Structure 1
Amino acid sequence: MRFFNEKKQTSPTSSLNNPQYPQNYPGANGYYGDDVPVAAGYDDDLHVQCPSHTTERKLVTRIDLHVVPFLCILYLLAFLDRVNIANANVYGMSKELGLTGDKYNIALVIFFVPYVLFEIPSNMLLKRFRPHVWLSINMLLFGFTTAMQGIVKSPSSLYATRFFLGLFETGMFPGCFYLIGMWYRRHEAQKRYTFFFCSTTLAGAFGGLLAAAIGKMDGVSGYAGWRWIFILEGCFTVLVAFLFFFVLPDFPEESKWLTEEEKSYVAARLRADQGHSARERAIALKDVGNVFKDYKVIIAGFMYFGLIVPAYGYAYFAPGIIKGYGYGPIQTQLHSVPPWAAAFGFAMLLAVLSDWTKKRMPFAIFSICVCITGFAILIAVHDNEKLQYAALFLVAMGAYAAMPIVVCWFNMNLGGHHRRSVGSAWQVGFGNIGGIIAVFAFLSKDAPKYTTGYSICIAFTILSIVACIAYGIACYAANRKRERMAVDVGLTETEKTELGDMNPEYRYLL
């Protein structure tokens, strides 16, 4: 079984007249490109025997099977436990708990307070304690917290559980992206990133189906149907967390299912593409500061920030919007499924095309424009429910296709463990401030037109487009500047490792 089809590569003749080195391999001309050694031969740089092309294909397949599925399931459950409050609200949660006025919005926004603040510390701890330990422990805790939401009795107790849910989920998304990025080359990564990210769309689809089924348990053991949504989904997450302690992947250097030769080759192929990883060096506070000296990092935060507002606006309020079309609770949940399914298919299509062309910016901007089109229809059309429902497809497809592209684009342009760990956490942490805006953009008093909410979403998607263009120009300018420099810049290998993607020999993907 294979998740993705790899494009066959050949190794061009090196300027060093050594057929074992591709033209873009470090040591040939100091350029970290997309071609790496794939033919059998001795890698003189790392002193390892490179597997044959067939062996490499099998090795990448094994990586896919060990890395991608488990992280997808993890984040599917994390996102489901985060947004199932929208499904629960359809079944009368606000009415039973007395969430009048903006209390429901407050319950949503409290989640983002720890979620924004602790992204960077969580990624630093993930590197220290190893991914399978850190991620599975947090998974157990956010699953338990989700179940506790099913027994709350007041708004204040709901607020408390939402706060701790945000705290324990804080490292899931950036941590998984960080981990995936340390396994794949840049032109291989978008399909994996998008497949992982599409766990959110599957969570949205499954969430609607599960809520439709679980809602029928209303009254069982004296609990309302909305309580069972939290209890059952949270308990299932706890059970999976115990299993995942043993199956979640670690970084390549410490994975037990690779031989020493395979570990060396994985390191070689990634080093050829991205430079030294510096896995052995701990992340210090000065590393955090050094990352933020690069203005491209700040811009990348706004790429994601602009997309979070429409993405969470849709995730949290789509069931309520659909309910406003006159559907009952069960029909509302069922009608919430198709847009998520369409978003999955559209996102994977763009991911395959993006990896094939080795381009990110055009696909990010195109998908954002699809999202804007959907919001424009929702603002302009109020008397055609079928067209309004179709517009929800465009919103979900555009937002949830663009998000993995901008995250993959930025993450895979970061070189080394310390820059990728801090940078990925920054982008996700800063971006999720948009979640706070999203939950107050759609207020009950604006129903059913939600003109204010839709307008806010359009403004932030435009901000994301501007940031994408700015980041692309910055990467292009950096590449051009480095191409004009001398090949030998007089840096030692240790200095190059410390610089990561700031190394003059590094080239950014556009």
Structure 2
Amino acid sequence: MSNIGGSYEKKGDQNAGITLSEIDSHADGESILLSQNGKLVKAGDRDEAMLLLLQHQDHSIELDLEKDRKLLWKIDWYLMPIMCLLYCFQYMDKVSNSYASILGLRSDLEMKGDMFSWSGSAFYLGYLFFEYPAVRILQKFPVAKAVGIFVVLWGIVLCLHSVPNYAGFITLRTILGMLESSITPAFVIITGQYYRKEETFLRTALWFSSNGIGTIIGSGAIAYNILEDEKNYSLAAWKLVFIITGALTIFLGIIILVHLPDSPANAWFLNEEEKLLVVARIRANQQGFGNKHFKWNQFKEAFLDIKTWLFFFTAITGNIPNGGLTNFSSILLTSDLGFSTKKALLMQIPNGAIEFVVCSLFAYFSKYVKSRMFWAILALWISVLGQLLLSFASNNKVQLAGYWIQAVGPVSFICILSSVASNVAGHTKKTTVNAILLIGYCVGNLIGPQTFLASEAPHYSTAKTCIAVFSLLSAVILILIFVTYWFENRLKDKRENDLEKEKFGEIQHIEFADLTDKQNPYFRYSF
């Protein structure tokens, strides 16, 4: 038997087997962790994982390969299905605008010129405006409870999309974007809480690529079947799309509130020993569960870190194509490729299947070629090939093949999200970088629909050119991120001298002291 975090040794694990130091209590009752040489780590600076350790300082456990395997399976079983389902629904809700566009939405709300383009951009205006407040809410309040409330509210807003005028519709699209802005940063935080660095890419791929399942359900199971039985309904088909998806989302929000734990420390499906084993298995991440205290030094570091801005610009360039295709794919399939409305809805099902299956496979292959950046760059180049076929091929079958091929592109954004989960340490810094990344995501998705100029319908030549060019730029930035990680790891290796060890080496449980990736000399970037 060994102490918490103890005997299970895995390549890359650091500080395993360190025992808890003496606890001293100040007059105000605040507990302080003492290092062996008397240095202090204040309670306000500690991570929630460290607090869990302190509550069980006399508890000895042993983490071996078999226990680790069973625990990982259990975490996957209880978290992944609900996270995948929620991400499926948030994408389905977002692209309901695209399905509704060919079911009578544009004619009923008298949309002319670029009015439909703005219905797509309005969502991301709300997302952009509320992104940083959303991540601060997620840091300050219990993550899962905040997300559950957001989900229920956006389900209600989605139901209300069946409005009689354009102004009301635009307003609701903006509010929907505000509410949905919480999901991705919350999932990045949750993924980082339970999984090791090498595990985050596949798990992020599973929940993010569930967008593809949302496409299958939204276009095939909902929009297509509504269109089939359109004459049997008293409401317009496009209104039913919003009402049905909204009602399903409200139900899912209630499940989130009941099922999803706020952190491993209060996970209802883990016993006390398993909670401590989660702490032990994520030691090598050099970060814990999270910290509720806002820290200005970490906030500043997030803005001064070059990687933050590489994330930001790859999010912009990668999501200009996404923003355009998310809102205009149905219109392209009908007006440019010549499919009927029903056929266009069915043709989006393979696109969703490819996104879910192939994106997940690319992440799985990182077990064999251990570089998520390699797989992300490869997937993005394949996606660019598909975009070139969609944009410039003369045969509509080849264009359709290009539309399906480009569905592997999200691997690049999945890579960036998993990098934030595993490569950005310090909870205030992580939430800030998360917000900046997703602001870039919003900007890209705002610009995307505006590249579809009404004057260029039905072929939209400017939009097609932008799709290919900005994806190429995104691939270049991914390469720069790869080089930056390699270079900074080399610098850290050179600086890990006796002075650094004297300064940091004796602090007990340094990985749970809520230090940033730059502050912690033991932190190494995985790429």
Change (3 A) 1:286 1:141: farther
Alignment partner, residue 107 of structure 1 = 119
The 8 Å contact of residues 379 and 451 in structure 1, kept in 2 or not, is answered as: yes
Q: 1:28-427 maps to which residues of 2 (within 5 A)?
A: 48-150=60-162, 152-209=163-220, 210-220=222-232, 222-271=234-283, 273-277=284-288, 279-324=290-335, 325-382=337-394, 384-397=395-408, 399-427=409-437
The 8 Å contact of residues 350 and 363 in structure 1, kept in 2 or not, is answered as: yes
Where 1:49 maps in the other structure, the secondary structure is coil
- C-alpha distance in structure 2 between counterparts of 1:327 and 1:410, whole Å: 40
Q: Give deviations 1:104-134, integer Å, cap 9, x for gaps.
A: 1111111111202322321221233212211
- Is 1:507 matched with 2:524? yes
The 8 Å contact of residues 8 and 64 in structure 2, kept in 1 or not, is answered as: no
- Measured after TM superposition, the shift of residue 28 of structure 1 is 7.4
Bigger drift between 156-165 and 113-122 goes to 113-122
Change (3 A) 1:99 1:23: closer
- C-alpha distance in structure 1 between counterparts of 2:171 and 2:11, whole Å: 57
- C-alpha distance in structure 2 between counterparts of 1:233 and 1:171, whole Å: 19
Letter in 2 for 1:81: D
TM-score by length of 2: 0.85
Alignment partner, residue 493 of structure 2 = 483
- C-alpha distance in structure 1 between counterparts of 2:93 and 2:175, whole Å: 12
The percentage of counterpart residues that share the same residue type is: 24
Alignment partner, residue 483 of structure 2 = 473
Letter in 1 for 2:219: G
- C-alpha distance in structure 1 between counterparts of 2:524 and 2:59, whole Å: 25
Higher relative contact order (CA 8 A, sep 6+): 2
Alignment partner, residue 13 of structure 2 = 25
Give RMSD over aligned pairs.
Answer: 2.3
- C-alpha distance in structure 2 between counterparts of 1:137 and 1:328, whole Å: 39
- Measured after TM superposition, the shift of residue 20 of structure 1 is 5.5
The 8 Å contact of residues 68 and 192 in structure 1, kept in 2 or not, is answered as: yes
User: Mind listing any 5+ residue stretches in structure 1 that lack a counterpart?
Assistant: 1-17, 31-43
- Measured after TM superposition, the shift of residue 280 of structure 1 is 4.3
- C-alpha distance in structure 1 between counterparts of 2:420 and 2:63, whole Å: 30
Where 1:336 maps in the other structure, the secondary structure is helix
User: Mind listing any 5+ residue stretches in structure 2 that lack a counterpart?
Assistant: 1-5, 19-55
The 8 Å contact of residues 360 and 409 in structure 1, kept in 2 or not, is answered as: no
- Measured after TM superposition, the shift of residue 194 of structure 1 is 0.4
Bigger drift between 258-267 and 136-145 goes to 258-267
Where 2:270 maps in the other structure, the secondary structure is coil
- Measured after TM superposition, the shift of residue 243 of structure 1 is 2.3
Bigger drift between 411-420 and 474-483 goes to 411-420
Letter in 1 for 2:14: P
- C-alpha distance in structure 2 between counterparts of 1:156 and 1:146, whole Å: 15
- C-alpha distance in structure 2 between counterparts of 1:95 and 1:472, whole Å: 47
Bigger drift between 164-173 and 278-287 goes to 278-287
- C-alpha distance in structure 1 between counterparts of 2:427 and 2:481, whole Å: 21
Where 1:312 maps in the other structure, the secondary structure is helix
- C-alpha distance in structure 1 between counterparts of 2:58 and 2:514, whole Å: 18
Change (3 A) 1:318 1:68: same
Match of 2:438 among 399, 403, 428: 428
Bigger drift between 333-342 and 122-131 goes to 122-131
- C-alpha distance in structure 2 between counterparts of 1:509 and 1:195, whole Å: 19
- Measured after TM superposition, the shift of residue 494 of structure 1 is 8.1
- Measured after TM superposition, the shift of residue 493 of structure 1 is 5.2
Match of 1:453 among 463, 472, 478: 463
The 8 Å contact of residues 133 and 245 in structure 1, kept in 2 or not, is answered as: yes
Change (3 A) 1:217 1:443: farther
- C-alpha distance in structure 2 between counterparts of 1:332 and 1:21, whole Å: 53
The 8 Å contact of residues 120 and 425 in structure 1, kept in 2 or not, is answered as: yes
- C-alpha distance in structure 1 between counterparts of 2:368 and 2:115, whole Å: 47
Alignment partner, residue 45 of structure 2 = none
Change (3 A) 1:278 1:392: closer
Q: Give deviations 1:211-250, integer Å, cap 9, x for gaps.
A: 0012234355531111111111111111221222101232
Letter in 2 for 1:26: Q
The 8 Å contact of residues 379 and 454 in structure 1, kept in 2 or not, is answered as: yes
- C-alpha distance in structure 2 between counterparts of 1:20 and 1:87, whole Å: 51
Q: 1:433-444 maps to which residues of 2 (within 5 A)?
A: 433-444=443-454
- C-alpha distance in structure 2 between counterparts of 1:471 and 1:184, whole Å: 22
- C-alpha distance in structure 1 between counterparts of 2:496 and 2:171, whole Å: 57
Alignment partner, residue 31 of structure 2 = none
- C-alpha distance in structure 2 between counterparts of 1:448 and 1:360, whole Å: 38
Change (3 A) 1:46 1:465: farther
- C-alpha distance in structure 2 between counterparts of 1:20 and 1:360, whole Å: 25
The 8 Å contact of residues 427 and 514 in structure 2, kept in 1 or not, is answered as: no
- C-alpha distance in structure 2 between counterparts of 1:307 and 1:508, whole Å: 23
The 8 Å contact of residues 425 and 516 in structure 2, kept in 1 or not, is answered as: yes
- Measured after TM superposition, the shift of residue 165 of structure 1 is 0.5
TM-score by length of 1: 0.88
- C-alpha distance in structure 2 between counterparts of 1:309 and 1:100, whole Å: 22
The 8 Å contact of residues 264 and 289 in structure 2, kept in 1 or not, is answered as: no
- Measured after TM superposition, the shift of residue 308 of structure 1 is 1.1
- C-alpha distance in structure 1 between counterparts of 2:424 and 2:158, whole Å: 34
- Measured after TM superposition, the shift of residue 445 of structure 1 is 2.5
Change (3 A) 1:258 1:487: farther
The 8 Å contact of residues 147 and 234 in structure 1, kept in 2 or not, is answered as: yes
Change (3 A) 1:28 1:309: same
- C-alpha distance in structure 2 between counterparts of 1:302 and 1:413, whole Å: 18
- C-alpha distance in structure 1 between counterparts of 2:485 and 2:341, whole Å: 48
- Measured after TM superposition, the shift of residue 285 of structure 1 is 4.8
Letter in 2 for 1:66: Y
The 8 Å contact of residues 80 and 200 in structure 1, kept in 2 or not, is answered as: yes
The 8 Å contact of residues 7 and 64 in structure 2, kept in 1 or not, is answered as: no
- C-alpha distance in structure 2 between counterparts of 1:286 and 1:128, whole Å: 17
Bigger drift between 354-363 and 284-293 goes to 284-293
- C-alpha distance in structure 2 between counterparts of 1:494 and 1:290, whole Å: 22
